[in-house]
Structure 1
Amino acid sequence: MSFNASVYRILIASPGDVADERAVIPEIVNEWNAVSAYSTKIILMPIKWEVNTTPLLGGRPQQVINDQIVKDADLLVGVFWTRIGTKTGMAESGTAEEIQQFVDSGKPVMLYFSQSPIDPEKIDIEQFGALKKFKEKMRTKGLTETYSGLVDFRHKFTRQLAINLNNLIDFLAEQLKSKGKEPSKKVTEQQKSAVIELTKPTQSETEAYLLKSFEATVRPDGWADIAAFATHLLTYTPIKYRDYGHNKLKPFLQSTGLFEFKSISKTQTDITLVEKSHKNA
C-alpha cells in the first residue's frame, strides 16, 4: 500500500580508510526504512559520491561533487580513522570541505572518529597529524562521537541517527518558514512523535546512560551535583525523563534504585551510586 513520506538525503562523507563503515551506513539507513518508514512517514536516502555523482569536466573536482550531491543533502555522516584525505585547494580534504559546507549552512552533522587499533607502521604520520588538528577544531563546534570498532559504530549510529532525525525535522521546518512556506504542523508533530516512540531506550540502555552521566559529572568525593548531572543527562544522552511520566528528575532517579541522595540545601542535592551499582559497574 502506498503512502506519502518525506525523503531526507543522508550524505556519507569520509576518507578511504573507513570502507567498512561506508558499507555499514547504507545498511543501517535501509534497515531504518524497512522498520520505520511507514510509521514515521520518513524515508532516508543514503548518498555517496562513488554512487551518486556523474563525470563532468570544467570545474574543480570537489566543487563538482558539492554541486551534484552536497548542496541538496539534508544530513551528513562523517567518519574518520587515521586519514583526513587529500587537500582540495579550499580545505584540508574533500570530506572536510563537505563538513564545512554543512556547518556553514546550519545543517546537522554527525561526526565519528574511530579508535580501532592499527599497525603503527601503516600510519601516515602527516595524514594522522592533520586529522588530529581537524578533530580538535571540530570539537569546538559541537559534540563528536568515538567508537571502538565496527560493532560499536553500528550500535551507536543506529540509535543516534534516529535521535537526530527530530533535529532534522525541526531544521527543515525552519528552512521552509524562512522561504515563506508554512510547514504542516500536524505532519511535523506526527513524525516527531513517531520517531520519539521508536527511540525510547530500553531499561538496560536507560541505566547505562544514567551511569554514563554520573561518571561524567562525579566529583573526587564520589558525589555529583544533581544539576550538573541533569545537564549532562539531557544534553548528551537520549534520556528525556518526562517521557517516563515523571515531573521532576529526582523522582525518576529514585525510581531506578541506582542512586543515593544527599540534600545540601533547599536548592541543591547531590547523588552517588548505591552499593549494588558499584558492584555491577
Structure 2
Amino acid sequence: MKAINLIKVFIASPGDIAAKRNEVEETIYRWNIENTDNTKVILMPIRWETNAIPTYVNNSSGQSVINKQIVENSDILLAIFGHKLGSPVDNYRSGTIAEIDYFYKNSKGEVGIFFLDEPVPQILAEEYIEVKKYRDSLEDKGFYGTYSKDNIRRFLTKKVNHLIEKAQNNLESKRFDLDPISYKTSSAINKKVIGTDEYFEDNLDIFDPIEFDNDERLLLIYAFMDENSIFSTDNSTYRKVVQWESDNNLRSYLSDRVFDVLEKLSKSGILKEEYDSSFDEYPSRYILISEDYKKFKRYFLKNEKKISVIMEKYKAPIQADPFSNLDESDLPF
C-alpha cells in the first residue's frame, strides 16, 4: 500500500461563477488522475457549501465560522473572480476577499487568484468596476492570473511541488537540527557532459527538438547573443528580452513566456536557482554557471547558421508602408 499525502485546495469565488467552481473541482480530479502515482499526492477540493458544518457560535458570523472550520485548515487557496466582487461581509467588500485575507494571514499555504477574461454584460458593468479595482490593488503583490483550465493545472503543479519541497526541507531540518536549507539546482550539463567540447556537442544537442523545446532553445540563443548568463526574476529580464526581440525584429514569442522557460530550464538542471536568503520562497535569479556558459558559447559560435534558421522562424511580419506606391501627383499638397 502506498503512502499518500493529502493536500486540501479551498476553492473561493463569488456566487456568480458557480460553473467555474465546478470546473476547477473537475480540474483537480483530473490532476489527481494524471499526477498522484508520480507525486504520491492527492488533492482534495474544499468548498464551503460541501465541507462547512452548520454550527452556532455566539457573537460570530457565518463567514468567521467558515474561515475557522475550513479556510484555515486548507493548504492551497484558489480564488476566482468573474464580473462580480460578491456581497460585503465582516467589514470586507466580499466574502471571497475575506477568505483570501484570512488565509493569507493565518495559513502558511499557497494562494492563487484568477480573473475571468470574458466580455462583461452591460447589466454588470458597474459591479465589474469593483472587480477591476480589486485586481489593480493586487498589482504590487503579483499573485494573480487569468483564469483558464490550463493555468489552473499549471498553478496546482507548481504549488504542489513547492509544498513537497517545503515538507522535505522541514523534515531535513528536524532530522539534523539545521536551519531550513535553500534547494539549488545542480548543473545537468556537468552531469551529462564531461570533458571536451566535442563530448558536449555529441551529448547535448540544443537543436534537437526532443532534447529542447522551442522556447528553451530560443532563450539559450538569447543568452548567447546578449552575452547574458544571469536572469533576474524581476522585470529587468523581461525588459531585456523585449529589447532583444525588438532589435532583431522578432515576434514576442520568448518575452510572452520567459519566466516559465526559466523555470523549465531550472527543473531540467540547465539553470541554477539562486536565493538572496534561505527564507525566500522563490529564487531571486537563475544562473547559467560560468563553465556551462562557455560551453554553450563555443557551441553556438560553431552553429551560427542554425541560429539564423531558428531566428528566421520568429521574425515579426514586415508592415507594409501605406504610402510606398503613392504617386507624388496624388498628394494634396
Is 1:239 the counterpart of 2:264? The answer is: yes
Structure 1 CA distance, aligned partners of 2:156 and 2:102?
20
Which residue does 2:330 correspond to in 1?
Answer: none
Helix, strand or coil: the match of 1:116? coil
Which residue does 1:95 correspond to in 2?
Answer: 96
Structure 1 CA distance, aligned partners of 2:70 and 2:45?
11
Which residue does 1:137 correspond to in 2?
Answer: 137
| TM-score, normalising length: structure 1 | 0.68
Which residue does 1:264 correspond to in 2?
Answer: none
> Contact 2:216/2:261 (CA < 8 Å) preserved in 1?
no
Which residue does 2:160 correspond to in 1?
Answer: 165
Which residue does 1:190 correspond to in 2?
Answer: none
Q: CA deviation at 1:75?
A: 0.4
Structure 2 CA distance, aligned partners of 1:215 and 1:234?
12
Which residue does 2:44 correspond to in 1?
Answer: 45
Q: CA deviation at 1:245?
A: 4.6
Counterpart of 2:150, as a letter, is H
Distance 1:119 1:138, change over 3 A: same
Which residue does 1:195 correspond to in 2?
Answer: none
> Contact 1:17/1:81 (CA < 8 Å) preserved in 2?
yes
Which residue does 1:117 correspond to in 2?
Answer: 119
Unaligned runs of 5+ in 2: 177-210, 223-236, 249-253, 272-287, 318-333
Helix, strand or coil: the match of 2:246? coil
Distance 1:18 1:174, change over 3 A: farther
Which residue does 2:82 correspond to in 1?
Answer: 81
Is 1:24 the counterpart of 2:23? The answer is: yes
- Number of aligned residue pairs: give it: 237
| TM-score, normalising length: structure 2 | 0.59
Unaligned runs of 5+ in 1: 148-152, 184-200, 261-272
Which residue does 1:194 correspond to in 2?
Answer: none
Which residue does 1:71 correspond to in 2?
Answer: 72
Q: CA deviation at 1:169?
A: 2.4
Which residue does 1:203 correspond to in 2?
Answer: 213
Distance 1:119 1:276, change over 3 A: same
Q: CA deviation at 1:176?
A: 7.2
Counterpart of 1:116, as a letter, is E
Q: CA deviation at 1:174?
A: 6.3
1:170-211 residue CA offsets vs partner (Å, 9 max, x unmatched):
44556779xx9559xxxxxxxxxxxxxxxxx98367579999
Q: CA deviation at 1:72?
A: 0.3
Counterpart of 1:35, as a letter, is E
> Contact 1:258/1:277 (CA < 8 Å) preserved in 2?
no
1:3-30 residue CA offsets vs partner (Å, 9 max, x unmatched):
1011010000111122222111111111
Distance 1:91 1:207, change over 3 A: farther
> Contact 2:10/2:71 (CA < 8 Å) preserved in 1?
yes
Q: CA deviation at 1:278?
A: 1.8
Q: CA deviation at 1:220?
A: 8.7
Which residue does 1:146 correspond to in 2?
Answer: 146
Structure 1 CA distance, aligned partners of 2:33 and 2:69?
27
Runs of at least 4 residues of structure 1 off by over 4 A?
Answer: 171-177, 180-183, 204-211, 213-216, 234-237, 244-250, 252-255, 257-260
Structure 2 CA distance, aligned partners of 1:94 and 1:202?
45
Structure 1 CA distance, aligned partners of 2:36 and 2:245?
48
Structure 2 counterparts to residues 174-193 of structure 1, below 5 A: none
> Contact 1:29/1:46 (CA < 8 Å) preserved in 2?
yes
Counterpart of 1:203, as a letter, is D
Which residue does 1:274 correspond to in 2?
Answer: 311
Structure 1 CA distance, aligned partners of 2:93 and 2:240?
32
> Contact 2:84/2:128 (CA < 8 Å) preserved in 1?
yes
Q: CA deviation at 1:241?
A: 4.7
Q: Higher Cα Rg: structure 1 or 2?
A: 2
Q: In structure 2, which of residues 134, 150, 153 is the aligned counterpart of residue 155 of structure 1?
A: 150
Structure 1 CA distance, aligned partners of 2:104 and 2:44?
20
Structure 2 CA distance, aligned partners of 1:223 and 1:60?
58
